[in-house]
């Protein structure tokens, strides 16, 4: 179900400047409002979860993500096909025969994979019931959304080695948003779901504070700076790895999350929480009418490898080279197809765009105790293989 038009893609690099702290109600004193609030104020993590995955939430709409924005997997002509080809190359190289597209939208990438390689065992997982028109051979698992991972990913027993790919999932796993107040205390940001107005609530609890001390130390930040506390993303990632470990009679497995992210040296001071609606970046308002996303602290996940998409796709044969010009005279149709494919490849490799996304990779042996799903040592900044901006 690839969109026939090109949606602006959610490059995730629009930093959250220009919004500031939007406070439509009362004067903020750094700890709360002066005067009683007239509507509910809730922590961002709760409002975000409800806005995306609650009844009537953004991701429960029939159109799914493709109705609002493009990703590497859908919405850019031919890009989904190029990505599927590269993922298939990875699977063949690694000897994997079972593919799970986790957080797959309406199954755009998994459909391409099935089309290119009908011999693969394919499953899509997302928060809606099986989309109409999905080929019968593709399995489907419905999930609750956010950090929740189903116990059973639908991998057929004995289906061989498994690749689980989660493209742009972790950035939509809600997390606590904190802001440094005038006394250098990291406080939970509260939001009014219907307006997006914000105020500061209590200091972070000990668990979140410990995560921050380790990965995003508040002590080095200035008043007004923000932290998107990545702990729920780390836990969601570990839950996905654990679910793969539980798959019965499976071969070796690769678990891959692809997202825009930052590492310790590149943490964004202003925070990255933002909204997308109809292909446009909009101020984040958790009213269910828009996507809500924030970059991932990718070095906190616990992976075996971090590599930017540009480097990873180049390894898999995606080059973005133009077709030989002489073809335009001898085989014009082939030449035009080559041009279109080259354009799609360039979009996936682009600096300042999809090429800067990070592939976070965990490798699992064929058999082993469930505790193989424990955290790998988080790859530090030196672990990020990059030919681009993240270096
Ligand atoms: C940004 S979209 C990406 C969709 C698709 N992977 C792509 O690249 O086009 C995020 C998707 O993650 C799904 N999602 C979020 N949490 C999930 C979960 N716990 N289990 C399954 N799907 C989830 C959403 O419903 C949404 O379809």
With cut-offs at 50, 70 and 90, classify the pLDDT of residue 18: very low
**pLDDT score recorded for residue 96:** 97
pLDDT per position as a tens digit, 269-279 = 999 999 999 88
Reported as type and span, the H/E element at residue 300 is none
**pLDDT score recorded for residue 137:** 98
Give the three-class secondary structure for 89. Answer: helix
8 or 13, higher pLDDT: 8
The mean pLDDT of 10-26, rounded to a whole number, is 33
The mean pLDDT of 306-325, rounded to a whole number, is 96
With cut-offs at 50, 70 and 90, classify the pLDDT of residue 367: low
**pLDDT score recorded for residue 164:** 98
With cut-offs at 50, 70 and 90, classify the pLDDT of residue 283: very high
Question: What number does the ligand 1 atom closest to the CA of 104 have?
Answer: 6
Judge whether residue 209 has pLDDT over 60: yes
Instruction: For residue 137, count other CB atoms closer than 10 A to its CB.
Output: 10
**pLDDT score recorded for residue 181:** 97
With cut-offs at 50, 70 and 90, classify the pLDDT of residue 290: very high
Highest mean pLDDT among 136-145, 216-225, 270-279, 331-340: 136-145
Q: What is the 144 CA–ligand 1 centroid distance (Å)?
A: 11
Q: b/e map of 276-297 (b: 16 or more CB within 10 Å)?
A: beebebbebbbbbebbbbbbbb
Ligand 1 pocket check: which of 57, 58, 103, 348 to mutate, most ligand atoms within 8 Å of Cβ?
103
d(CA 77, CA 79): 6
Judge whether residue 182 has pLDDT over 80: yes
Judge whether residue 80 has pLDDT over 80: yes
The mean pLDDT of 254-273, rounded to a whole number, is 96
Sole residue written with tokens 């380790």? 214
Distances from the Cα of 112 to the Cα of 5, 106, 138, 367, angstroms: 17, 12, 11, 29
Which residues have CB under 8 Å from 280's CB, separation 6+?
A: 8
Judge whether residue 391 has pLDDT over 70: no
The DSSP call for residue 28 is B
Q: Are 166 and 239 in contact (CB under 8 A)?
A: no
Give the range among 117-126, 325-334, 344-353 with minimum mean pLDDT: 325-334
pLDDT per position as a tens digit, 330-362 = 999 999 999 999 999 999 999 999 999 999 999
Question: What number does the ligand 1 atom closest to the CA of 146 have?
Answer: 16
**pLDDT score recorded for residue 11:** 47
**pLDDT score recorded for residue 35:** 45
Question: What number does the ligand 1 atom closest to the CA of 150 have?
Answer: 20
18's tokens: 């220009």
d(CA 11, CA 324): 30
Share of the chain above pLDDT 70, in %: 84
With cut-offs at 50, 70 and 90, classify the pLDDT of residue 248: confident
Q: Which residues line ligand 1 (CB under 6 A)?
A: 59, 64-65, 71, 73-74, 103-105, 108, 125-127, 143, 145-146, 148-149, 167-169, 172
Q: At what angle do helices 332-349 and 79-94 cross, to 10 degrees?
A: 70
The mean pLDDT of 319-334, rounded to a whole number, is 92
Q: Are 64 and 7 in contact (CB under 8 A)?
A: no
Q: What is the 173 CA–ligand 1 centroid distance (Å)?
A: 9
The mean pLDDT of 53-68, rounded to a whole number, is 94
**pLDDT score recorded for residue 385:** 73
Q: What is the 192 CA–ligand 1 centroid distance (Å)?
A: 24
Give the range among 217-231, 305-319, 376-390 with minimum mean pLDDT: 376-390
């Amino acid at each position: 179900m690839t969109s026939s038009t090109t949606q602006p893609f959610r490059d995730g690099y629009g930093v959250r400047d220009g919004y500031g702290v939007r406070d439509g109600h009362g004067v903020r004193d750094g700890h709360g409002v002066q005067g009683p609030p007239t509507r509910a104020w809730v922590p961002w993590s709760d409002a975000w979860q409800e806005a995306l995955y609650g009844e009537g939430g953004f991701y429960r709409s029939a159109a799914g993500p493709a109705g609002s924005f493009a990703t590497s997997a859908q919405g850019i002509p031919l890009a989904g096909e190029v990505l599927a080809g590269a993922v298939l190359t990875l699977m063949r190289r690694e000897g994997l025969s079972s593919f799970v597209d986790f957080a797959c939208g309406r199954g755009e990438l998994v459909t391409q994979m099935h089309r290119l390689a009908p011999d693969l065992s394919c499953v899509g997982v997302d928060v809606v019931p099986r989309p109409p028109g999905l080929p019968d051979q593709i399995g489907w698992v419905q999930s609750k959304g956010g950090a929740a991972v189903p116990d059973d990913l639908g991998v057929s027993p004995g289906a061989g080695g498994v690749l689980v790919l989660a493209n742009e999932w972790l950035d939509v796993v809600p997390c606590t948003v904190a802001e440094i107040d005038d006394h250098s205390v990291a406080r939970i940001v509260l939001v009014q779901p219907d307006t997006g107005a914000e105020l500061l609530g209590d200091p972070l609890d000990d668990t979140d504070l410990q995560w921050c001390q380790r990965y995003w130390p508040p002590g080095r930040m200035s008043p007004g700076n923000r932290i998107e506390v990545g702990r729920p993303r780390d836990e969601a990632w570990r839950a996905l790895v654990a679910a793969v470990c539980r798959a019965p009679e499976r071969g070796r497995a690769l678990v891959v999350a692809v997202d825009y992210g930052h590492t310790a040296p590149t943490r964004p001071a202003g925070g990255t929480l933002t909204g997308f609606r109809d292909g446009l970046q909009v101020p984040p308002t958790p009213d269910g009418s828009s996507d809500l996303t924030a970059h991932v602290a990718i070095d906190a996940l616990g992976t075996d490898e971090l590599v930017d998409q540009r480097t990873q796709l180049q390894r898999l044969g995606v080059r973005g080279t133009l077709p030989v010009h002489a073809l335009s005279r001898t085989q014009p149709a082939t030449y035009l197809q080559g041009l279109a494919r080259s354009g799609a490849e360039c979009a996936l490799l682009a600096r300042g765009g999809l090429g800067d996304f990070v592939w976070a990779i965990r490798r699992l042996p064929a058999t082993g105790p469930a505790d193989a799903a424990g955290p790998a040592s988080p790859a530090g900044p030196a672990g990020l293989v990059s030919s681009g901006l993240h270096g």
